[in-house]
Amino acid sequence: MRHKPTGSTTRRRSRRIIGASALAALSLAMAACSSGGSSSGGTTAGGTTAGGGGGAANSKYPWCGPKQASIALADGFGDNTWRELTRYSAVTIAAECPSVTKYVYANGEGNTQKAISDINSLVAQGITAIVDFPDAGKAMLPELTKAYQAGTIVVPYRVFPGGTAGQNYNAYLSTDFTSAGVLWGKDVASALNGQGNVVFLGGPPANSQSLEEYQGLQSVFKNYPGIHIIGQKPYNVTNWDPATTQQVVASLLSKYPKIDAVVSDFGTALAASFPQFQKAGRQIPVIATEDGNSLGCDYASMHQSDPAFKLFTVSSQTWMVEYAMRYAIALATKGTVPSSTVVPQQNYENSVTGSPNQPVCNSSLPATAIMSSGLTAAEQQAALKGVIPSLESLR
């Protein structure tokens, strides 16, 4: 029997509750000051005037102020399903603010020099505010700093680029990746009864997300001397790419005859590697990762023949881009700035306890859908086909 996603799939995302903890931490009951923020970021770097309204402050969306502004989302790498969903979410948030006159998307394609060039191009275009996913980490800091010093509002999110808010950029929107590692570590330790070999799969080399998750895992596993992290340290590099993940998993299976659990920070890519276990004649071990429709559907189909298969996930947080967009828009349009820059981690699925959800599968959606995204089924279908609406079509 396939599980259906919890909650309505037809609500507008702006009205959904991501989760009580996330809502509390990044409540839109804003800080008392208005655009506050830091120095040069409040200055428009020559934005555009096409379309859009402006005018009085927005009572429905306090983060949407009266000043016209142009907004960009710059991805260091935009070619996986997580980024396709975040790209869709980002433009819909921009469309909610009539003061946003232009929205631009840039894809660094996993090439640091391309990502740097994208930032320079956006500044040259006069974009008022840039939300950036700095996949290359600290290698992006010089260009982000130049953009900030040139008067562009700069809000990196999710992967830490180094530097300091107010000196190198306006704000860094973070999440506690160490906490994700702790949540996974506890679930895995319990499922293995404190004994076993664990593989950790991370993203690009030296990215802050995977490093912090590894620290969280270690903080738990140090209390379980019978648990050993095997493979490359601090993590096996997958670049958050399904094809690379399959290659890495195949190599690990050939090297290690005993793998009791796999922890990964990109669940959809991990699910793509499950056939490698079958080719090697191995059972799927305990899995702890971020959620994805393919994982929930795999669990639904495999649990019947393998009752020992255990799946634990945290939310993939594709919706985190919405908070980064709101923060940047608030600074750019002189709206009310959200009161926090930290999004907490949340458990999403637990096949043992069923809390907060049993593994979730929607067989009408692509395997690459992410059920915690908050996007409607139609929105996910469109995003995963690369059909991203324009700012104008959403208004």
Q: Tokens representing 82?
A: 């997580």
pLDDT in tens, 310-329: 999 999 999 999 999 999 99
Q: Where are the domains of the chain?
A: 21-175+318-344+373-387, 177-314
SS3 of 23, please?
helix
Say whether pLDDT at 343 is over 60: yes
**pLDDT value at residue 123:** 98
CB 296 within 8 A of CB 366: no
Radius of gyration over every alpha carbon of the chain, rounded to an integer in angstroms: 21
pLDDT top residue among 23 and 298? 298
Region 83-93 average pLDDT: 97
Alpha helices in the chain (DSSP H): 20-25, 81-95, 112-124, 141-149, 177-191, 208-221, 242-255, 267-271, 274-279, 293-302, 320-333, 377-384
Region 34-48 average pLDDT: 32
Q: Which of 12-16, 217-221, 228-232, 284-288 has the lowest mean pLDDT?
A: 12-16
- Average model confidence (pLDDT) across the chain: 87
CB 327 within 8 A of CB 171: yes
**pLDDT value at residue 305:** 86
Determine the topology of domain 21-175+318-344+373-387 in CATH. Rossmann fold (3.40.50)
Region 154-177 average pLDDT: 96
**pLDDT value at residue 57:** 58
Say whether pLDDT at 4 is over 90: no
Residue of 76, 14, 23, 93 whose CA lies nearest to 333: 93
Question: In 10 A of CB 105, how many CB atoms?
Answer: 14
**Torsion sign (Cα): 298, 301, 305, 306:** positive
Region 260-288 average pLDDT: 95
pLDDT in tens, 375-387: 999 999 999 999 9
pTM of the model: 0.80
Residue of 83, 85, 89 whose CA lies nearest to 106: 83
Q: Tokens representing 104?
A: 């631009």
Say whether pLDDT at 34 is over 90: no
The CATH superfamily holding the domain 177-314 is Response regulator (3.40.50.2300)
pLDDT in tens, 238-250: 999 999 999 999 9
